[in-house]
């Protein structure tokens, strides 16, 4: 349950290439803050949204306008944006050694209950890119609303190495 | 306000025995993540739910189907699950020296306002088991929904020793 | 994006004086927890509310009873309370070297979308007091409800020096 990933056989940057994934440009803040702050071995990433080049990619809430699959896709886009922010902060994704916390916040209406399936959009992508040996903690919550009417927001607290 | 609990007179494991509390089996993830990740002196626990052996113990929201006491009880069950996850991660609860963050997230409808009373279900249990000298920070929020229709989710970031 | 603020030209305490801002008394807990816990270089602050001397300063939700400006003002008041808690914990605001995470949680109804404008009430005040060189990460979420019917809750994880 508890551990770290000191010497992965293949790095995340190499895996990204093999998967043919190109990261979007790093996100830009919507206010007076920055996208990431490093304190010692911890990098805290600001809330990451399914927005590319300032354009919302999906609008709506789960349980109303959006189906579970669309929420899952929004979680994937927000995660790609987060990875781009991490690369901008550290120079390379290979410096990530664990994900202490992946927060997945989903805008929901009514009695939507499939939160884990939406959140797996983020978790499965992280596992694909960092490898199954990467440990990730996770919390998933259904919130009332997200900036700009977006359906998903991602939060990451990662362990990094130099 | 700020401090730590280096040499408790009685350890948490001993207190559990004296209180006659048996922890439930450690929770299992609902997806591609683990229940706890340790980084240095910090252990981050994934969102903990009032679920035992994969079975939801309480379903509903505060301000609608559930009364404050039922929410408090759900917070207690989620906390017992969290303690079981901590023991599985560290071997013993005695290695916990502080709770930096206890997050209590409560599914609410309408104008429910008794969040602190629900959250005290978690805080009072932690104080009973770790002793009044254990410091705990806390944040409490009313959310729109929680996985599986559960009423409460608990998040813990704890300081640990070896 | 990533860095720290080791030797500010003017400290936060001096800036507060120049701005003529007097902090409210430090907040007191609503339950069995403390307002801040320090672990190494990190100080975690419990959820901070727009409450002064135990009295709620603003009640209501964004998208219903309150306009964006009133939410922004509530975020400012909660931030002043947080600063008072930090000073009580550390002795001086000058010991803060970065804000890893500023969480701004806003009680919203319906399709409210101006979360960033409300959150800027907190971010702009932090920038005014700590100077533009202070780095701050940020996450903003619309929640269903907050203790006592308050519109905004603030969470801070800060890096501190001795």
Q: What is the pLDDT of residues A127-136, one digit of tens each?
A: 999 998 899 9
Q: How far apart are CA A47 and CA A107, in angstroms?
A: 14
Q: Report if residue C3 sits inside a domain.
A: no
List CB contacts (< 8 A) between B38 and chain A.
2-3
Question: Shortest Cα distance from C152 to chain A (angstroms)?
Answer: 13
Q: Is C89 domain-assigned?
A: yes
Average pLDDT over residues A117-131: 97
Residue A157 touches partner B, C-beta closer than 8 Å? yes
Query: What is the C-alpha to C-alpha distance for residues A3 and C37, in angstroms, rounded to an integer?
Result: 25
Give the integer Cα–Cα distance in Å for B72 and C101. 28
Q: C140 with A147: CB under 8 angstroms? A: yes
Q: Is the ipTM of this complex over 0.90?
A: yes
Q: Residue B85 falls within a domain, yes or no?
A: yes
Question: With an 8 Å Cβ cutoff, are B90 and A41 in contact?
Answer: no
| Total number of domains in chain B | 1
Tell me if B6 is assigned to some domain.
no
- Tell whether B132 is covered by a domain: yes
Q: What is the pTM of this model?
A: 0.95
| pLDDT tens string C47-79 | 999 999 999 999 999 999 999 999 999 999 999
Residues in B closer than 8 angstroms to A142, CB to CB, are: 107, 143-146
C51 found inside a domain: yes
pLDDT tens track of chain C, all 162 residues?
444 555 556 899 999 999 999 999 999 998 889 999 999 999 999 999 999 999 999 999 999 999 999 999 999 999 999 999 999 999 999 999 999 999 999 999 999 999 999 999 999 999 999 998 899 999 999 999 999 999 999 999 999 999
**Which residues does chain B have within 8 Å of residue C103's beta carbon, measured at their own beta carbons?**
139
Distance CA B36, CA C131 (A): 36
A10 band by pLDDT with thresholds 50, 70 and 90:
confident
Name the residue among B39, B107, B155 with its Cβ closest to that of A42: B39
Which tens digits make up the pLDDT trace of B80-102?
A: 999 999 999 999 999 999 999 99
Residue A2 CA to residue B34 CA, distance in Å, equals 8
Q: Where does the pLDDT of residue B135 fall: very low under 50, low under 70, confident under 90, or very high at 90 and above? A: very high
A125 falls within a domain = yes
pLDDT at C132: 84
Establish if C20 belongs to a structural domain.
yes
Structure-token match 């190499």, residue found: A14
Tell me which residue in B30, B37, B105 faces A100 most closely, judged by beta carbons: B37
- Tokens standing for residue C51: 């409450």
- Note down the domain range covering A56: 12-20+36-160
| CATH code of the domain in which A109 resides | 3.30.1330.40
How does A111-133 read in b/e, with b if 16+ C-beta sit within 10 Å?
Answer: ebbbbbbbbbbbbbbbbebbeee
């Amino acid at each position: 349950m508890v551990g770290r990933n000191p010497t992965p056989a293949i790095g995340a940057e190499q895996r990204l290439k093999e998967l043919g994934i190109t990261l979007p440009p790093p996100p830009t803040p919507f206010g007076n803050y920055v996208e990431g702050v490093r304190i010692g071995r911890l990098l805290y990433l600001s809330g990451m949204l399914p927005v590319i080049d300032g354009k919302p990619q999906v609008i709506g809430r789960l349980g109303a306008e959006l189906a579970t699959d669309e929420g899952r896709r929004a979680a994937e886009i927000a995660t790609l944006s987060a990875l781009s922010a991490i690369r901008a902060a550290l120079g390379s994704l290979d410096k990530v050694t664990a994900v202490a916390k992946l927060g997945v916040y989903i805008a929901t209406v009514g009695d939507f209950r499939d939160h884990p399936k939406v959140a797996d959009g983020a978790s499965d992508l992280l596992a694909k890119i960092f490898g199954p040996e990467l440990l990730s903690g996770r919390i998933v919550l259904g919130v009332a609303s997200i900036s700009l009417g977006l359906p998903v927001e991602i939060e990451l607290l990662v362990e990094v190495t130099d």
